Each structure stands twice: as C-alpha cells, then as structure tokens.
Structure 1
Amino acid sequence: MTEAEKQQSLPRIVSPQEWLAARREFLVREKEFTRARDALNAQRRELPMVAVEKDYVFEGPDGDVGLLDLFEGRRQLIVHHVMFDPSWDEGCSSCRFQIRDLGHLPHLHERGTSLALVSRAPYAKIQRYKERMGWSVPYFSSYGSHFNYDFHATLDESKQPLLINFRTKEEHEEAVGPWDVWGHELPAVSVFLSEGDTIYHTYSSFSRGLDILLFTLNYLDLTPLGRDGG
C-alpha cells in the first residue's frame, strides 16, 4: 500500500463530541457481539463428545508416550496440529507465527488444561527446529501414526476419507473449489477431555477458526490500520 493509499484509508477527523457519539453507537454493536460470542461459547461447551478408541503413540523428549501422557495429569488437553510434513526441514511460517504468539501456559495449567504441539515430522527434526526457535512448549511427533489423519489435520484419501473443515470432498469442491490448492497439511486445533483412563474428543477447528487464538492479530484489530499495521 502506497503512502497516499494509507492516507485515504485513515478514519475521518471529527470533533470530540462526534467521536463520542460514534463510539457510543459502535458500542451497541460490540455489546451485541459479546453476547453472541458468550452464547456461542456456551453452545460449544454443550457439544457432544466421542471416545478416542485408538492407542496413539507420540515421540517426545522422553521417548514414546500415549495421548493420555500429553495431558500431564490435567483433565483437558488442547493440541495444536503444527503443519510440518516429514519431508520438510521446518514447520510452516503461519504455524510458527501462532506458536510464537502463544500466551503463558501456566495460566492454562491453573485451570486444569494442558497444551501441546503435534506434527507428523520425525522427532529428530522437531527437536532441532524447536531448539533453533528457542521454544519450551511441549512438542511431540506423531510420525508413523494416524493421529493427524484421524483428526483431519492432514488430508490423504489413502489414509482416511477426506473431511475438509467438516465437509466431504464433494461438498468442499462445490462450495469452495479444489480441496488441495493449499496442500495436504492444515492448521488445526483439537480438544480432548480425560475421565480416568478414557479420553474424549470434544472439539476441533481449522484455518480461520484459529484466528481468535492469535494474540497479535486480535490486538491489531483494535487499531485504525488493522492487521496491515503502519
């Protein structure tokens, strides 16, 4: 964007009285959105859940572990499916941005929730990548397992019937277009609940559904220049 275009996109300059009137009018919209978001969050918590019946194996710093180990003794687990194909040398840039944007994990821990990163790349690659990035967040490899395929964060018809953001391949192509235009790996989050030794899958979200988790972008949404910045 040129400097002239930036100037044209700036808000109108008004008096303090006009600003207050416009802000109060917009506040009504914000309150409507807040109430709608609260209602949506309540409905999300009421979604049914399904038992996880497979024994998935992950590799981490202490060797092989199961899905229950990723909970670290807490009742809830959020998994970030980080796009990192086994043939790649590092994870994708958008996922890297998301990991760098993560908040203070002990705040989740205090509320009985763990967060872990999972990629299909072999653990040796993940370990080198994690060390290079300076990350301390728990990061595991699902290399050789069906974990990413079963939760539709990796799309491969030879492994699992395609479900692209909860649409079949045919539904997706009719509504959006070619399903593989962005590749086979998707940015995704899956949420799990443990009851004793039983694990339940409660929620998953993909692509723009992860937007709300990005600290930086949601702060930039408050500014007049938005996500493009200055």
Structure 2
Amino acid sequence: MTALPPVVDEQTWRDALADLLVREKAATKELDAIAAARRRLPAVKLPEYRLTAEDGSSVTLAEVFDGRSQLVIYHHMWSDGNRWQCSGCTGLTSQWTRTGALAELDARFVVVTNGPMDEILAYKKRVGNEMTWYSSAGSAFGADMDAGPGEGFAFNVFLRDGDDVYRTWHTTSRGAEQFSLFFAISDVLPYGRQEVWQDVPDGWPQDPTYERWLTSKDVAALYGDPEA
C-alpha cells in the first residue's frame, strides 16, 4: 500500500503550510546572513599554480578565470587508470550543463581534478559531461586546496586582481549540497531523499544511504557514451 500523509480539508492544509512557511522564511533569512558573512571573509593570496587545459596547454590559475574576476572550482575525485570515477562526483557534475549565465556576474565555474588530461577527456566523453575541465596532475594545487590525490572532493572559490589570485571560500562534505539540483528537488518531495538517516513518518520508503544515487555507469547510460 502506498504511504500517504494525513488527508485533511484544504483549510487545515493551508494552516499547516503557513506554519511551515514561517520556519522556511526564517531559514532563508539565516542563509542570507550566512551569505553576507561569506562575502566578508578574509582571503589568502596564492602563489602561481599551473594547470593543464583540455587542449594540453599549460595555463596559470589566473588564466583559468578566462578574463573574469571570480572563479568557482569543483575538485572532482580521481583514481588514475580507473574506467569509472567517483559516482558522487560524476552524478553531481552531470547536473551542471548551462553555466554561461555566471558571466553576467563576472564569474566562471570549472572542474579540476588530479588525473591526467588524456584520461579526463575520455571520461568526460564517456559520461557526457559538459563542463570545462583542468588537470592539476603534477601540481600541488589540489593538495593545497584540500583536495589532493587520494583525498575527497571540494569546492573552492577564488578572486582575481590582475595576475594575483586569492582563495576566498572552501567547503566539502554536506556543505556541497547547496550546489545540487537533485538534493534541492528531492528535499521538497513528500518522500524526501528516501535515505535511512532522514526523519520521516512511519511507513515512509527508506533505503540505505547512497542506494538511490546514480552510479557513474548510470550517468554514462543517460548522458554519455558508455562504450567510449
């Protein structure tokens, strides 16, 4: 039998929704305050790092900005030689396909990983990824940004002033969820993410954490070329 919430008349539903809206608006205001504090964070001036672009050229971190003043980097986990990379990273980056609007904010959003560029390009085609990638292989950049070889994923944000680059923000773990369309949508669904850790009414469907996430092969089947 399908799990259902209590079924009530419309006015009772509207009253309950209004009560929840108070909490949602309070959360929105708190997130606004956090964002304001983030804009007031100090920054760290970085040394010059060199990365490898998709065309094989060596570029500075400042050049990755492509003339813009702000840069968001997703550090994709990588294991050299593996045909299928981290499913979480692959699924998350598959959600970002149209980031051109960031140009209006004088910003750019790219993916960086510690893998070699030939493997990156093959994987990008295999899973149908549409982001621009850079390789930090042979550079200390990944490790210095808290996402070195054998470590986890991360987001980092940077500000450029001429050739000078400053690190302004970093997050990982559940801090990355704000970048996920999948989580944003699933959290407004009646059944939520359907993972065992979530607080749900009795009888709601729940599975082990990660069980409903797409694997890298799933992403390839949906968007890319699994045989590439």
TM-score by length of 2: 0.81
Q: Percent of counterpart pairs with the same letter?
A: 33
- Secondary structure of 2:101's aligned partner: helix
Residue ranges of structure 1 left out of the alignment (5+ in a row): 156-183
- Give 1:23's match in structure 2, choosing from 6, 9, 17: 17
Q: How far did residue 135 of structure 1 move? A: 2.4
String of CA shifts for 1:114-142, please: whole Å, max 9, x gaps.
Answer: 11111111111001001122223111111
Residue ranges of structure 2 left out of the alignment (5+ in a row): 196-204, 206-228
Q: How far did residue 62 of structure 1 move? A: 4.3
1:35 aligns with 2:29: yes
1:206 aligns with 2:172: yes
- Secondary structure of 1:14's aligned partner: coil
- Secondary structure of 2:122's aligned partner: helix
Q: 1:208 to 1:192 in 2, by over 3 A?
A: same
Contact residue 221 and residue 227 of structure 1 kept, 8 A: yes
The higher-RCO structure (CA 8 Å, 6+ apart) is 2
1:145 aligns with 2:145: no
1:70 aligns with 2:64: yes
CA distance in 1 between partners of 2:179 and 2:132 (Å) = 18
- Give 1:98's match in structure 2, choosing from 82, 92, 110: 92
Q: How far did residue 103 of structure 1 move? A: 4.9
| Count of aligned pairs | 196
Q: How far did residue 196 of structure 1 move? A: 1.0
String of CA shifts for 1:141-195, please: whole Å, max 9, x gaps.
Answer: 111111111011127xxxxxxxxxxxxxxxxxxxxxxxxxxxx321210100001
Q: How far did residue 86 of structure 1 move? A: 2.2
Task: List structure 1 segments (4+ residues) > 3 angstroms apart after TM superposition.
Answer: none
- Secondary structure of 1:12's aligned partner: coil
CA distance in 2 between partners of 1:46 and 1:61 (Å) = 36
For residue 54 of structure 1, what is the aligned residue in structure 2? 48
State the superposition RMSD in angstroms: 1.8
CA distance in 1 between partners of 2:49 and 2:77 (Å) = 22
For residue 193 of structure 2, what is the aligned residue in structure 1? 227
String of CA shifts for 1:45-93, please: whole Å, max 9, x gaps.
Answer: 1000010113333342242111112111111010100001224333210
- Secondary structure of 1:65's aligned partner: strand
CA distance in 2 between partners of 1:146 and 1:118 (Å) = 12
Moved more, 11-20 or 86-95: 86-95
- Give 1:196's match in structure 2, choosing from 155, 162, 170: 162
